[in-house]
Amino acid sequence: AQSVTQLGSHVSVSEGALVLLRCNYSSSVPPYLFWYVQYPNQGLQLLLKYTSAATLVKGINGFEAEFKKSETSFHLTKPSAHMSDAAEYFCAVSGGDDKIIFGKGTRLHILP
């Protein structure tokens, strides 16, 4: 079985500061890992995914995430926050079947 824990339901950072959104996973098989972003009244958009290739994954909009098996983590980072990054972010895991298991989400606030 798979599960995801996102630490912090709300995170606030200043514009231009580092963004760090934390995600820990549990999986009984080698996992596929994802980060999605959801803007208000819109569907989810895939930011990046880990599928057992490179452990450092680069995504859209300057985001990246590093798969650390020893820590069972897949934290999302961006060097410099922009106002347009304000949204809800979901970490998700799959064990290779059709199901994707989502975390509860972290709402990112950008302070001017």
- The interface with other proteins within residues 26-45 (CB under 8 A) comprises 32, 36, 41-45
CA-CA distance, 4 to 27, in Å (whole number)? 9
CA-CA distance, 35 to 64, in Å (whole number)? 9
Determine which residue in the list 92, 108, 109, 112 makes contact with other proteins, applying CB under 8 A: 92
CA-CA distance, 52 to 9, in Å (whole number)? 28
DSSP 8-state assignment for residue 54:
-
DSSP 8-state assignment for residue 70:
G
Q: Does 108 bind other proteins (CB under 8 A)?
A: no
Q: For the window 9-28, what string marks contact with other proteins as x by the rule CB under 8 A? A: x-------------------
Chain residues in the site for other proteins (CB under 8 A): 4, 9, 32, 36, 41-46, 49, 51, 90, 92, 94, 96-105
